[in-house]
Structure 1
Amino acid sequence: MSQNNLFSDFEAVSSKQWKQQIQFELKGADYNETLVWESPEGIKVKPFYHCDEFEPKIAAAPASHGFHITQNIFVHDVAKSNARALDTLQRGAEAIRFTIENEQVNIETLMAGLPLGTTPYFFYLPFLAIDFVNQLNQFAEKHQARFILQIDPIGQLGKDGNWFANLDQDFEHLNTLAHSTAVPFLTINSSLYQNAGANMIQQLAYTLAHANEYFNRIAVHKHPITVEVAVGSNYFFEIAKLRALRLLFQTLAKEYHHEHEIHIVATPSRRNKTLYDYNVNMLRTTTECMSAVLGGADFVANLPYDALYHKDNEFGDRIARNQLLILKHESYLDTVHNAAEGAYYIESLTEQMAEKALALFKDIEAHGGFITQLIEGTIQRKIAESAQKEQDAFDNGKEVLLGTNKYPNKNDRMKGDLELYPFVKQNPRKTLIVPIIEKRLAEKIEQERLASEE
């Protein structure tokens, strides 16, 4: 029997009929109070979505073209970093992201023997040095290498509390790079907002306002822009968040005649990761990477399950990479482009997020713009308020992290296994603004448990 004949055997069921049947099954309980719930972003979620209730109000979210499995490598010893990059590419990684903390790194040594023609290489630079960027640009042009630099002075201001130098000098350097380099050099660190506790509407609006500052101040017409996002465990909402991000960015970019699509680099959130029962982190990162892929991320860099408390190690990296290899080559998540398109629930979430984020973005612009609101402390205050609501939900058990505030294993011992300090670090110093502080939900519980370990 053909598929068309199979479906023709059944009469269409309208949304009204579904609601009537559900109302009957509820035996008098109120439909809206019982089955419709509201997210922290103010989005009402219905028990079902139907085609006769869905009329798209906005253009479809543009699709990505598959995702690259990305390996993060912190460059301390250049030769070891080079060897590690070679090894991870042989083991399934498709892109490398180097974090370079100073401009003394020798690029020729770092890139020796690495495939340069098609493999993308990111360079996350927590400093702004024109000479070093020019070195990277010259190497890329000489070897036809695919380099993408990640420089974000506004993100530096938000995270550190200070510019690299000052506002005028930082933007002067960025404009110099815009005219002198061919490699993409500008990034927007949106992950900062998620890891600090901003809700999804705030994340989208702040990212858009962050980008708008660059569009207003830098001639970036010929350069694609990278947006780094953190993905949490609210599976369908995170898919919709990434789709809304691409749609909103495209809408804003057109106003500045910027025709390049963004590079979305997605990494699992740290906010919901835990020190105790740490293997559960693998379950969390798996669904988060799935959301990233289905949401249209171009690059996905997984977070090792032990990243909170262990230094980089081969086992943690291998497990994290293998999670992505399974999603790509065994689950075929990259085979269908824009797989979420046409799912009424996800389309509805995408629309609502985009509309609410755009309204908040317009409000930010009407009150001086993103940098002004950072300097005034408005952005930090709004994020802190959102973070506290989420923290209260966690403390009250309404937001659950298995193995931490639900079904904890009292026999777990972690004090002797800490290679890294897993909590917010205190660093009193003079800053231009109050920095945006990234903090995990489980920190207070974990500190109390560590203190009580024998």
Structure 2
Amino acid sequence: MTVLPENGLSLAAEFPDATHEQWQSLVEGVLRKSGKEVSGTAAEDALSTTLEDGLRTRPLYTARDAAPDTGFPGFAPFVRGGRAEGGIAGGWDVRQRYAALQDGAILTDLENGASSLWLTVGAAGIPVEALGKALEGVYLDLAPVVLDAGADTEAAALELLRIVEERGVAGQARGNLGADPLGHEARTGEALDFAPFAALARRTAEEYPGLRALTVDALPYHEAGGSAAQELGASLATGVAYLRELTEAGLPVEQALGQLEFRYAATADQFLTIAKLRAARRLWARVAEVVGAPDAGAQLQHVVTSPVMMTRRDPWVNMLRTTIATLAAGVGGADSVTVLPFDHALGLPDAFARRIARNTSTILVEESHLARVIDPAGGSWYVETLTDELAQAAWQFFRTIERDGGQAAVLRSGRIRTDLATTWAERSKRIAKRREPVTGVSEFPHLAEKPVERESAPEQPGGGLPRVRRDEAFEELRARSDAHLAATGSRPRVFLATIGPAAAYTARATFAANLFQAGGIEPVTAGAFEDSGASEAVLCSSDALYEEQAEQSAAALRAAGATHVSLAGRPAEHPGVDAYVFAGCDAVAVLSATLHRMGVS
């Protein structure tokens, strides 16, 4: 009979404890086999991944990676959640977005999983005078309504308040009037007077206990190419600016804090998204502590799946991206989540796209039971460390904004535009080199895919910070190819000249085909070069066969009419070869130059 120890079953009792140093020694041995002679912490650094904001993801985290005390859910510093229980019905608020009136869409979504509405109102969306029509049949005491009206915020807010009064649900109505003058300025460059919004905040605080007046929207900074720390820092500076304005207008600090809702982006980088939302709550709790209201510092978070990651080509892959982002938002403790439909980048979503968007949350909450545990990532040494390091980086960025006069000042001086542009330029280099792959665009593109067409969405306001997309550089190349196809009846082509047996050339031929298709260039592998319809060729084989046959093969291709010969492999000295394509090359530059040589403008 086996007697268990008093403190429970120890599964590793018969094995000696492994040390961090022993693990490093094993790593050294593996790296040595790959030709890297490193030891100690250098061996661990060799396996680390560099992120934006000066962060690094290490290959191993242990109990030695201590992070500040995260407290308990519902209590300061609110890292583990703003509430001590789950959200609506044990999950999060499923908030569907509407940029235009679409017959029956709002009621259909509410009847099938959506629990709140996010309405773009005004010149760029639903007309203010049509707000009542948009909300026909909506139980405003059950479904929160969030407005996003830019310069028309005051008119839209007053119209919504009129509607809830008319329906007799003023005391039960929930949502947000969406006043965000600094967010509007970031989008358009147009400064708005804060006084009307302070008046709205006073009115909602006194008369509408379920409504908030102000939104701190960090999406303009995310969509301009900002990093996670920059997004957090800018939102923090915006929130502080609003607190100053509200308290100067006479609101007690606790009421002022209760008038704000924060909006963040969730990306397919799940751990960074989880850490971002946890860090955001910690940072805002610190602000609340400084202004003397620590118990009122629970940040209300509305999280939106990232528009930057959405692609126009092969948009079906967007379903996977938004699923990962939604999972990260839920694990990170979001109060409300908006899943952008997979066709968001193409125009107004159809009924199928809206259904998939709302069902993404439903599956995660109802079938995957994701919301049954509060802060499921809490206690992970990696997540806790990443949360702390991101919070530190975001706080530093916030301090630089405050040092330069605050959020309004850095918007008007252009400093934040420069900071975000610098970050995006660095990220664009990684995307161009396919170090940050975009499936269906820079990796595994499908040239014969049938385009997904949608009704155009209302034009969004501009004039302020730019809106970027991960697919933009490759989208430009594909558009050039599409124009060539429309004008000539065929796409530009490149001939893949394979050398030796299939085992020697398959890997590099596959790489080259994938690369050139990302630029809209059709690879041809069958037959002879003369029959391919191509003007350029790429040699594909092993390094050993290149040494023996590359020069001869290049000469034969030129004799057959090839105007340019590339080689799939690392740069070397091969006579007759004009260029080299390889993993890590600047794919955008290579493809753009190729299209130019082919006469594709």
Is the structural similarity TM-score above 0.5? yes
C-alpha change, 1:402 and 1:147, in structure 2 (3 Å) is closer
The correspondence of residues 241-260 of structure 1 with structure 2, limited to 5 A, is 241-258=276-293, 259=296
Q: Deviations over 1:226-250 (max 9, x none)?
A: 1111122222111101110111112
Deviation at 1:162, TM superposition (A): 0.6
For 2:48, give the aligned amino acid.
Answer: V
Post-superposition CA distance 1:407-436 (Å, at most 9, x none)? 21222353x8364489x9997xxxxxx611
Aligned: 1:380 with 2:417: yes
Q: Structure with the greater relative contact order (CA < 8 A, sep ≥ 6): 1 or 2?
A: 1
- What is aligned with 2:226? 198
Q: Measured at CA, do residues 409 and 128 of structure 1 come closer, stay the same or move farther in structure 2, by a change above 3 Å?
A: closer
Equivalent pair of 1:264/1:299 in contact (CA under 8 Å)? yes
Q: What is the alpha-carbon root mean square deviation over aligned residues? A: 2.6
Q: Which position in structure 2 is the counterpart of 1:240?
A: 275
Other-structure match for 2:584: none
Match for 2:21 among 2, 8, 16?
16
How many angstroms apart in 1 are the aligned matches of 2:145 and 2:433? 43
Q: Alpha-carbon deviations, 1:142-164, whole Å to 9, x = none?
A: 3122232212110000011112x
Q: Higher mean Cα deviation, 240-249 or 90-99? A: 90-99
Superposition deviation, residue 16 in structure 1: 3.2
Match of residue 152 from structure 1: 180
Residues in 2 aligned to 1:248 and 1:173: alpha-carbon distance in whole angstroms:
28
SS at match of 2:194: helix
Amino acid at match of 1:176: A
Amino acid at match of 1:441: R
| Alignment partners' CA distance in 2, 1:199 and 1:406 | 23
CA contact (8 A) 2:80 2:374 kept: no
Kindly indicate whether the alpha-carbon contact (under 8 Å) linking 1:127 and 1:151 is maintained by their aligned counterparts in 2. no
Q: Which residue of 2 aligns with 1:333?
A: 370
Q: Percent identity?
A: 26
CA distance 1:69–1:132, shift in 2 (3 Å): closer
Matched, 1:225 2:254: no
- Taking the aligned partners of 1:275 and 1:260, their CA distance within structure 2 comes to 39
Q: Which amino acid in the other structure matches residue 226 of structure 1?
A: E
Give the Cα–Cα distance (whole angstroms) in 1 for the partners of residues 273 and 474 of structure 2: 26
1:452 aligned onto 2:481: yes
Shift of 1:117: 3.5
Q: Helix, strand or coil for the counterpart of 2:348?
A: coil
Structure having the higher Rg: 2
Query: Conserved in 2, the CA contact under 8 Å of 1:140 and 1:147?
Result: no
Give the alignment partner of residue 453 of structure 2, picking from 417, 433, 437. Answer: 417
Deviation, structure 1 residue 37: 2.3
Give the whole-Å Cα distance in 1 for the aligned partners of 2:178 and 2:275. Answer: 25
For the pair 1:42 / 2:54, whether they are aligned, the reply is yes
Using the size of structure 2 for normalisation, the TM-score is 0.68
Aligned partner of 1:76 among 69, 83, 101: 101
Q: Which moved more, 1:374-383 or 1:305-314?
A: 305-314
Where structure 2 has 5 or more consecutive residues not aligned to the other structure, the ranges are: 72-78, 486-601
Instruction: Tell me how far 1:50 sits from its aligned partner.
Output: 0.6
Cα 1:129–1:393 change in 2 (3 A) is closer
In structure 2, do the counterparts of structure 1 residues 403 and 113 end up closer, same or farther at CA, with 3 Å as the change threshold? closer
Does 175-184 or 110-119 show the bigger shift? 110-119
Contact kept in structure 2, 1:233 and 1:288, CA below 8 Å: yes
Query: How many pairs align?
Result: 435
Counterpart Cα distance in 2 of 1:231 and 1:122: 19
Equivalent residues in 2 for 1:6-405, closer than 5 Å: 6-7=10-11, 9=13, 10-27=15-32, 29-30=37-38, 31-51=43-63, 53-57=64-68, 59-60=70-71, 61-64=79-82, 65-66=86-87, 67-76=92-101, 80=103, 83-101=104-122, 102-107=127-132, 109-130=133-154, 132-137=156-161, 139-140=163-164, 142-143=168-169, 144-163=172-191, 166=192, 170-181=193-204, 182=208, 183-219=211-247, 221=253, 222=255, 223-258=258-293, 259=296, 261-405=298-442
| 1:431 aligned partner | none
